[in-house]
Amino acid sequence: MRAGRGTAAAFRHRYGASPLHLLLVLTSFALAVYAGIRLLAGDTLGVIIWFVGAAMVHDLILLPLYSVTDRAAQRLFRGGRDAGETPDRPSVNHLRVPAFVAAVLLLVWWPLIFRQGGRYTADTSLSADGFLARWLLIVAALFLASAVVLVVRTWLRLRPRRRRRRARARARRAAKRGHSEP
């Protein structure tokens, strides 16, 4: 039993994680290779052009766009102070997360959101109407839920401070009463 622990510890030291992690990584690579082979079996040139185009659009347009947006959100949460005064606040994540989820949903469903899903009704026998309204409702719910989480986290974080202030105030009142009595 001692040798088993030594082998697992040596593996973890060399690899940096457990053998299960390695198995999961290799399985995900195998699945990605399988999906790539199936994807490239159809229109190989079209798929390659799509991947290169997606990488270029991301690197040249989307990355600068969401970097500038993130900087603006960080400044908003700093309250206009200089960057050297205050470190980044984690509360900006309450804007990042719902915005990211909304952007992914828009990316996946944009043809239907912008009423460009020509064959959707023919293929599914479902109406393509209402996707914009549903997406907007989902986005509103995401930001509302994030705001509620921010308020609760702030309240829980400030609660010990309020208790300490109340305890100090009670101690001061008790001390004043003790000094005023003869």
For the cut 70, the answer to whether the pLDDT of residue 170 exceeds it is yes
Residue 63 near residue 77 (C-beta atoms within 8 A): no
Alpha carbon distances (Å) from 106 to 64, 102, 138: 19, 6, 11
pLDDT of residue 36: 83
Closest to 131 (Cα-Cα) out of 120, 146, 143: 120
* Residue 11 to residue 175: CA distance in whole angstroms: 63
Compare 83 and 34 and report the one with higher pLDDT: 34
For the cut 70, the answer to whether the pLDDT of residue 175 exceeds it is yes
Compute the average pLDDT of residues 127-137: 87
Compare 117 and 79 and report the one with higher pLDDT: 117
Compare 86 and 1 and report the one with higher pLDDT: 86
The whole-model pTM stands at: 0.56
Compute the average pLDDT of residues 5-33: 88
For the cut 70, the answer to whether the pLDDT of residue 98 exceeds it is yes
For the cut 80, the answer to whether the pLDDT of residue 94 exceeds it is yes
